[in-house]
Structure 1
Amino acid sequence: MNKTEATTIINKTFSSSFDEDSFNLFVSNLFKEYEPVEKRPFIKNAFTAYVSEYKIIGHYKDSEEKEIDILKVHLNHVLSIERARTAQRNFVADYLKTNGKNAALVAFVSPKYDDWRLSLVRLEHSLEVVDEKLKTKEEITPAKRWSFLVGKNEGSHTAQSRFTDLLVHNERPTLTELELAFDIEKVTKEFFDKYTELYFKLKEHLDEILKKDEKIKSDFESKEISTVDFAKKTLGQIVFLYFLQKKGWFGVAADKEWGEGPKKFIRLLFGRRGLYGKNFFNDVLEPLFYEALAQDRGKESIYPRLNNCRMPFLNGGLFEPMNGYQWETTDVIIPDELFSNTHKTKEGDIGDGILDVFDRYNFTVNENEPLEKEVAVDPEMLGKVFENLLDIKDRKSKGAFYTPREIVHYMCQQSLINYLETETNGEVLKEDIETFINKGDFIIENDKIALEREKNRKAKGAKYEDKTYALLLPESIRAQADTFDKLLKEVKVADPAVGSGAFPLGMINEIVRARKVLNIYNSSEISDYDLKLHTISNSIHGVDIDPGAVEIAKLRLWLALVVEEKEPHPLPNLEHKIMQGNSLISEYEGIKLFDENIIEKRDSDEVMQNTLGLGKSGSELKMEDLQNKIELYVNESQRSKKQKLKQDIDNLKWELIEVTLEEQKKVDKLVEIKKFRRKNIRPFFIWRLEFSDVFKKKGGFDVVIGNPPYGFRDVLTKKEKEYFRKVEKIEFQSGDSAELFCKKSFDTLLKDNGILSFIIPKKCTYGDSWGGWRTNYFKKYDLHFVLDSGKAFDRVLLEQTAFGLAKKIQNAEVQLSFLDSKKDKIHHFSKSTKDSIFKENNTLQIYLEYFPRSIFEKIQRKSEPNLFVSGDLGLGIGIDFFSDEETPNKLLKGIDIDRWNIRGHRYLKNREKLNWKKAQGFLRPKVICQRLVAHIENPSPHIRINACFDSEGIIITNTITAFKLNEMIEEKFWLAYLNSSLVNWYTYNFIYGRAIRGMDFYSFYIEQIPIPNISHDHQSRFVELVNQILDITKDNNYDSKNVTAQQKFLEKQIDEMVMDLYELTQEEKEIVHKT
């Protein structure tokens, strides 16, 4: 089959309503050889509410013996394909389990809708550690589903690009190849690249406009609008419309209902742009943004400018002119061809304008979850795009990074579990709370059916008990459904580095899901929309120093709310929930800006104050007024009232700051701070003022969660570090801004018993510079969970660790887990005490609980605590000391050495400038190794310590470590020991905690290597083997990349002898070799 034929089949199948003949033709060309069948099996009672009938179209077995069935599933007429996603997935999962299949390709069809869903559903299998032995058991986990939404109202561009090659090739596809066709990350990368290109085109056009038009330039400058921010906001507004037009809310005829508008409204509007003006952006889009969507025109929402159609009033701030610029009188003429044209792209598509690109993608307002992934642009993908765009400075920029959804999902769930367990004072088993939070979707579906069947059974007077559907929600939760609902309703969450809003969104989803579970039992009729609105308005708080990030986060929250709306409602105002500011600084140049005593008083203090007839101070009354006005502002949609409230809130905050400065006699600083106020920029953030209601009622947040910025040079200036250390008296030895975020968030934002959940550099668990954090926080307080996230971010070199730390002194169990990045799955391998994972040197080593404890204990038992080895880093000298010409002294860099041999060298020049006092210590025969330890992925992740013997006594640079040995340890024994598989395995797992980058090999780490109690005679056997290896490596033709069989044999002997020193069993040796 050629490409044209394949494209025709795909377009016919996916660009129209479901047609079984077209689908069968697609299937036969996709799988080449499959067994067609036509069966309509019985539907289990559990799924009759969702599925009216289903048909088995065929069976397929790939070359790897994976069995895939092809199904067509008809959904009940009351359901659209957008709803009951979990039920659809579970229906297919049950089919796969019952029939012993690996996966299914499924067409989900709803009779009332022109769109349908093509899904790949696959059962996952997990490997778990059983008992204390490294054995595994295979367990089927909930199925995962990947889907394309296709049909009359959807673009088939992505599906076409994914399936064309599979149809064209003659080979039968494997299940793995099918999964690649549904790969959401590929869509994310592609969409980001396209979106970034559109952003640059738009920004560059705006730059040209400002160069040519002094009036626009003057307006932009007076309002402090940059072309960067204008371009980002404009694209954000357009992409928001693309999401909402799928709901059929735009261009609704005056006599029609919401939802009946055209699903491709923006494209139709562009086609008719000549009716409304000369320029699409200036005459059509801007009035659409700032009139049609920003003005309340009553219930019918008739908009005369567009043929008296209905257009929703959205409120919320997204459709307000940036910084109040005069859009009505400022003509920003962006060429129409920037929105749509006939240019041919390198992929062969026609049109590279904004609408051309967006039209090719499916947009869905459903957020992807770990088990449910839509191959479309969803709000979470948009979050990734926006967060990447925050760091884009020019066309060469790579973008930022984004926390993977699996990690967000897990951290949010764990934080909520800890909150509920704490607030119920341990009266409910933690296991019950975990079931409640972790299995919400399954509980909702199962328990609804179970309760309905029980109700019908009783109504019919049946005497038998129906045991088909047992209730999944634990009795302890059911009995206190109202208590748990109240706790979820009142939880307060903060993200001090909100970025694109991933963590607030994650918390919203978890809170709403949990409350939906409880609604089954407390007979609450509250809608999903109202649940989300309440959570966003009352529970979620976020701060970011980047104003662009704040706007993105708000957009994400609005999209999350829109997904639940049947009819449009005004969006909430989030300016006082998601805010711009520097989370770390609440003062200005060391001067306190707010008197925190105003909110320190609790209700009992106020009662006493009133009893004594003292009344409230002026500042206290202002604070009460401020809190009331913020509460009113969130849901105020009338423009004049909203503007008045906004001004009042701003004035009240300013007055409270002014009073505080006057009390300190620092009125001169008011002038400086007023400059920031005019620019709407805060180089500080006064948490207790901005979120005073939280601190007044609770003393802090229940949950502080997020992915704080980390780094040494780019995040904090030298002046800022000095400020924190000298003025705020905060010691953060690592110098990493992440440690500062951890300490400030834990100490100043969390209430007592609250939980801090951050994802930060992995060095926090094993690095020497993070020792203070481990001692004063991890060891002191209740460490709830530790998740080794590995290399979670594509563009970040270092690995990360996520943790949950509760602000209470308690030694509870710690949940230990790691992220399997290849399978997008988190593996939980142990619940352990802190004592079992903290080593004597104060490092936190979770993998002590992953491997059989016997290995570690044998090594400890057979080690000699009084034997030690330290490292000595070479000279820190630059290239002005290096020479290619021969001089009396040789020099070695890390690149010059390998395991067992020195590959080459260079020479020393400018010897008179050298620090000979330090250099003298290296002029001796010695064991040396590369300072940076290499990490190797294949055949399984491991490290490689590259040590060799320097018999000449060469001067080394600081990319090499030399060893100072105890007199009981022979040089060449130490060389054999360092290069052995057991020492490398131990160092990788129990010293570096399976880190893969940034592993310095200096004294702090070297001194953690256990050394066996071994006699000189016994050491001599190792020395003999080392000498034989060194004889091999002396050969001029020696190639370290092609080691001889003889050398491998000798190395294997050393490996076995080292493990025999610790009396490891054969099974234990196999673990070392394989892991």
Structure 2
Amino acid sequence: MIDFSKAYNRADFVNYLRRDFLPDDFEQEEKNVPFWSQMNYASVATCLGKSKTLNLVVYEIKHRSPHDARVGLSKDAFRMLAGEKQNRALVIFVPEDNSDNYRFSLIEIQLSIGENDSNVTRTYSNPRRYSYYLGKGIACYTPNKYLNELGRVKDVKDLFERFSVEVLTKAFYQELSDWYAWAIKVISFPNDISTRADDKLHNHEGVIRLITRLIFVWFLKERKLIPWQFFDQEYIANHLIKGFNPHKIDNLFGKSEASVYYRAILQNLFFAMLNCPITKEGSTEFTERRFKDNRSQFDDNKLMRYRDEFNNPDEFLRLANETVPFLNGGLFDCLDEKRSGMYYDGFSERKESMAQLIVPDYLFFGEEAGKNIDLSEFYGDANKKKVSARGIIDILKRYNFTVEENMPFDKDVSLDPELLGKVFENLLASYNPETQQTARKQTGSFYTPREIVQYMVDESLVAHLKRTVGNELEGEYRKLLDYADNETSLTEQQKLAIMQSLYNCKILDPACGSGAFPVGVLQQMVHILKQIDPDNSRWKNMLLQFAIDETSEAYLNSTAEERREAVADIERAFDENVNYPDYARKLHLIENCIYGVDIQPIAIQISKLRFFISLVIDQKRNDNPADNFGIRPLPNLEAKFVAANSLLGLKRTEASLFDSEEIKQKERQLKIAKHKIFSARRPATKEKWRNEVIRLRKEIADLLLEKDCIGNEQAAQLAQWDMFDQNTFAPFFDPEWMFGIKEGFDILIANPPYISTKGVSTADKKLFEAEFGFSDDTYNLFFFKGFSLLCEGGCITYITPKTFWTTQTKRNLRDLLLANTLNYVFDTANPFEAVMVDTCITSAVKNKPAAENLVRFMDGRKSLLQPERLTVAQSVYLNTQNSVIFKPSELNMRIYELYGEKVKALYDKWWDKIKTSRDIEKNKRELEEYRASLKPGDVALLGCLTEGGQGLATANNGKYIAVRSTTKWAENIRVSRPKKLADFLARTPKAITAEMRRYPSYIAFLQSLSIFRI
């Protein structure tokens, strides 16, 4: 075994590989490795040995990457493997100037084979790297568990499982899920201060919000922007909080409900540090962060509370001012509305609030903070009656966190910001009545897999670039999106056209959840910019030109001074003394291109949070508090991500809200105000422009009502919508009102909710019928809404159930898709762990399809990464009976060619005469004449040959309908049937069940029977 918390030592590490980790056939050898192509960061490579059974080589790479450039280092390693004609390796990446920290990576590529099948060319595809970050100051629980404790690697499958991020994430989520189930039983928030009846009403949301804030803070701690002392129980007890003991017994009533840690440490950190500047603008004096000192300040949520809880309040303040930056951005806004008596967070010294806020100290600290906790009701599992749970701080300390989002080709075996999305999606599902049973039993079930996200993002961007820059460059666009070594042949003019196309692209996720697609879009757009403009010079010049020439609408009617400020703002974003190059790319793409909507307000907060982390990691930290430690306060994303009902639009009498010149003038003012809010870096500035936005919205709503553009109800909706209110969502979505988007979006991309029409309330059904003319499963409605939100030629890409391929009730959706240009259909089977429905990705362009349009069809049921690829003319689906979608396999196409047009003609002629039993009876004579005219070999509809309208009636599908043994439905039966049998045994007299009880388990009894006996 090896101590992964120590600095790297080659001899020690090779001994570990030889004695403890790799198979016995590992042959140690040391030799220098030449580089066959130019390296960006790698300086020296050494071969350390090889294993034939694993078909891998072990290398050490010394590098000169100052910012631990993971993507650049990965590409260097991929090139080296291709040059060495190897497809798999273990690589130790060591900084050449300091070996305190290093990466241990499993790398694999697919090599190309020459025409004679012996000459392996030095090109590669499908690269993958999985890494552990090791060394001083790193949490080593995970590498110890998977690399040390499991002993020697048995085979290639075992090797990849040792480097699996998914296994790690599941382990973490299971611990966190147990903690969450425990916490919602004991936590309470004040809410309405005048009553205790609602103290647990919003527990699920409140606890999720606490987890979210805490995990975000943990990511900041990785950047050394939060003091470690705030999470050290011993330090807190000795230096910060009086008599702190999270596990003290409160007389006969068990553990104390004292909530000092949450109130004094976490609430002050959240609301009065991260949300409060250190200094006044232009000053170097630390005057802004301080404790509340009089009752008139009761609703100033940026002042610290609970001074009396501290041993030394000044020490607490010193730690904050020496480490914690002001972040801005809204996540750490206190949600209390103290003047109206609503205390959602309970950040108050008011006695009623302190009595009603219960977040016990014991929830945070201890390896076994909770013992014998009964979580059986939460999980619906009797085996969960005696669960032990760690304090959440101890859970977080066990794992290594990385602030960089993992990519499909490059993953750290640690917890990245995507974790926030996975945690949120699953915890949210755990209390949603539609999904709670599945979510609580199967972790990781409701989050779109990263590989799916990237595929959908890449294809959407390619479709956009083909439309706006040119079809003929499709191959070049794909090279830009790839992470293999692909040289492009783009001209300077083409690169500029691509850059401008990306900047002008408007992208919406109408069901953004925790931000998987918006973040994925940002990553790939940044990646393209890095390929075509590595030094950021073109990007900077383009943005400066927009500001100087007033060609950007955000600067219309601005003064010369405002334009100078805009230029200075751009210059600072590009200043590589304070920011890494990606910061300027991300900041302006976020402001100009990416939008999200979700009906859950907390989902919007998670989406914004992931963008915040993405920006924070590309800023260079310094030790100057007056400079906010080098961290530029985060942008305000309230005008980029909104909580609203995406499916319901605003009823209006005019196509555009802003047609009159008077309203257009106020619209321009509103755009300027929203830009000012986005870039506001001080609370006072944000408040000023927030008030301006509210004023302008009210004036515009009044004008719209006056000019009969909208009715009274709609005017009230517009005026009441407050994009700054984190506690509510708008009952409508209007992109022009909320985002200033008139002409439609270029890209819609989403994983919309799969709520069956049976799960839709009667009230919502009426609203949907008024909006769409019908009510159906929500994913169908999202398609119709999506097309209405697209610009002409825009691209929509959704992952949804594939039930619409053939279902009669989804004929309207097939007609919609086939009335436009269908790009591709990707049968993804079921990439989700628990959603019991097969899915597909569907992509279409909003325009009339060309007669010769070819649809790409991918069958990923066997392999998502290497699907079977087919093409089919869109006209085939149009000319198929009922316009059904099907896989254009050789067999299916032969059937179509033989019977497709014949069956469609029969259907068109006869369907209205046989669609119900009443129709069959009504047309009985005509049907009899038709049947009499049939000859052997004729093709006919089965419905024309029968006299009933019902299909196969079993009366019990579970008893008579079988499923394939390899499907997830079969696995579900294997799990549920023993439980049903156990319930039967519990309810049935023993005399009747004697034979069954001879078996030690119900599963063994079932296995003893043939399928017929069962």
Q: TM-score, normalised by structure 1?
A: 0.67
Question: What amino acid is aligned across from residue 209 of structure 2 in structure 1?
Answer: K
Is 2:275 the partner of 1:294?
yes
Render the CA deviation track for 1:825-848: whole Å, top value 9, x for unaligned. 152613443135555214454531
Corresponding residue for residue 123 of structure 1: 109
Per the alignment, residue 228 of structure 1 pairs with 204
Tell me the residue number matched to 1:25.
15
Separation of aligned partners in 2, 1:376 and 1:579? 31
Q: Is residue 327 of structure 1 aligned with residue 347 of structure 2?
A: yes
Identity of aligned pairs, percent? 24
Q: Is the 8 A contact 1:715 1:737 kept in 2?
A: no
Q: 1:352 aligns with which of 390, 397, 400?
A: 390
1:803 to 831, 842, 847: 842
Q: 2:404 corresponds to which residue?
A: 366
d(CA) in 1 for partners of 2:403, 2:949 = 55
Q: What SS class does the counterpart of residue 108 from structure 2 fall into?
A: strand
CA contact (8 A) 1:301 1:313 kept: no
The residue aligned with 2:488 is 473
Change (3 A) 1:33 1:793: same
Letter in 2 for 1:79: P
Matched residue of 2:647: which SS? coil
Residue correspondence of structure 1 range 369-768 to structure 2 within 5 A: 369-393=407-431, 398=439, 401-424=446-469, 426=471, 428-436=472-480, 438-439=481-482, 441-442=483-484, 472-475=487-490, 478-520=492-534, 523-524=537-538, 526=574, 527-567=581-621, 568-587=631-650, 592=651, 596-600=655-659, 616-617=661-662, 619-661=663-705, 667=712, 681-695=728-742, 699-713=743-757, 716-725=760-769, 727-731=770-774, 735-747=776-788, 749-768=789-808
Contact kept, 8 Å, 1:788 with 1:819, in 2: the verdict is yes
2:60 alignment counterpart: 72
Distance change >3 Å, CA 123–CA 345, structure 1 → 2: farther
Name the aligned partner's letter for residue 105 of structure 1.
L
Report the Cα distance in structure 2 between the residues aligned to 1:597 and 1:669, rounded to whole angstroms: 14
Write the deviation string for residues 934-993 of structure 1: whole angstroms up to 9, x where unpaired: 334399x9xxxxxxxxxxxxxxxxxxxxxxxxxxxxxxxxxxxxxxxxxxxxxxxxxxxx
Distance (whole Å) between structure 1 residues aligned to residue 28 and residue 50 of structure 2: 7
Q: Distance in 2 between matches of 1:296 and 1:594?
A: 46
Q: Could you say if the C-alpha distance between residues 659 and 730 of structure 1 is closer, same or farther in structure 2, counting changes exceeding 3 Å?
A: same
Distance of aligned partners of 1:126 and 1:792 in 2 relative to their CA distance in 1, 3 Å threshold: farther
Deviations 1:681-728, CA, capped at 9 Å, x for gaps? 335224144335221xxx111111111112224653233223333x33
Residue 104 of structure 1, aligned match among 74, 78, 89: 89
CA distance in 1, matches of 2:895, 2:716: 66
String of CA shifts for 1:120-161, please: whole Å, max 9, x gaps. Answer: 11234899xxxxxxxxxxx96332111111221211111222
Aligned partner of residue 403 in structure 1, secondary structure: coil
8 Å Cα contact 1:301-1:310 kept in structure 2: no
**Residues 785 and 804 of structure 1 are in contact (CA less than 8 Å); yes or no, is this contact kept in structure 2?**
yes
| Structure-2 separation of matches of 1:517 and 1:755 | 24
**2:639 and 2:739 in contact (8 A); partners too:** no
Residues 1:869 and 2:942 are matched in the alignment:
yes
1:702 touches 1:755 (CA, 8 Å); kept in 2? yes
Question: In the alignment, which of 935, 941, 944 is matched to residue 964 of structure 2?
Answer: 935
Structure 1 residues 435 and 107, CA, compared in 2 at 3 Å: closer, same or farther? closer
Q: CA deviation at 1:506?
A: 1.0
Larger mean CA deviation between 637-646 and 265-274 belongs to: 265-274
- Mapped contact 1:593–1:657 kept (Cα < 8 A): no
- Find the aligned partners of 1:745 and 1:896 in 2 and give their Cα distance: 40
Shift in Å, 1:868: 3.9
Deviation at 1:666, TM superposition (A): 5.7
Partner SS, residue 43 of structure 2: strand
Deviation at 1:658, TM superposition (A): 4.6
CA radius of gyration, larger in: 1
Distance 2:859 2:399 in 1: 30
| Aligned with 2:31 (options 40, 51, 54) | 40
Quick one: which amino acid aligns to residue 349 of structure 2?
A: T
- Name the SS for the 1:197 alignment partner: helix
> Structure 1: how far apart are the matches of 2:713 and 2:477?
54
1:788 deviates by: 1.2
Structure 1 residue 185 corresponds to structure 2 residue 200: no
Amino acid at match of 1:833: A
Q: CA contact under 8 A between 2:26 and 2:52: conserved in structure 1?
A: no
**Contact residue 390 and residue 548 of structure 1 kept, 8 A:** no
SS at match of 1:597: coil
**Which residue is 1:1021 aligned to?**
none
Given that residues 837 and 849 in structure 1 are in contact (C-alpha distance below 8 angstroms), is that contact kept between their aligned partners in structure 2? no
* Count, aligned residues: 797
Partner Cα separation in structure 2 for residue 579 and residue 381 of structure 1: 22
How far off is 1:584 after superposition? 1.0
Q: Structure 1 residue 676: deviation in Å?
A: 7.7
**1:859–1:650 Cα change, 3 Å:** same
C-alpha contact 1:500 1:549 (8 A) present in aligned 2: yes
On the 8 A contact 1:543/1:579 being kept in 2, the answer is: yes
Q: Distance in 1 between matches of 2:738 and 2:714?
A: 23
Classify 1:51/1:757 alpha carbon distance in 2 versus 1 (closer, same or farther; 3 Å). same
Single out whichever of 504-513 and 764-773 deviates more from structure 2: 764-773
Q: Is the 8 A contact 2:757 2:778 kept in 1?
A: no
**Cα distance in 2 for residues equivalent to 1:781 and 1:659:** 37
Aligned to 2:869: 829
Equivalent residue, structure 2, for 1:947 = none
Counterpart-to-counterpart distance in 2, 1:432 and 1:497:
31
1:774-789 matches, cutoff 5 A: 774-775=814-815, 777-789=816-828
How many angstroms apart in 2 are the aligned matches of 1:244 and 1:819?
A: 42
CA distance in 2, matches of 1:639, 1:821: 52
Q: CA deviation at 1:388?
A: 1.0
Letter in 2 for 1:293: L
Q: Using the alignment, how far apart are the partners of 1:674 and 1:222 within structure 2? A: 29
Is the contact made by 1:57 and 1:72 (CA closer than 8 Å) also made in structure 2?
A: yes
- Deviation at 1:71? 2.1
C-alpha deviations, 1:603-660, integer Å up to 9, x for none? xxxxxxxxxxxxx32x333322222211111111211221232233234334434554
* Contact kept? 1:282, 1:333, Cα under 8 Å: no
- Counterpart-to-counterpart distance in 1, 2:56 and 2:370: 36
Three-state SS of the structure 2 residue aligned to 1:46 is coil
- The answer as to whether partners of 1:368 and 1:378 remain within 8 angstroms in 2 is yes
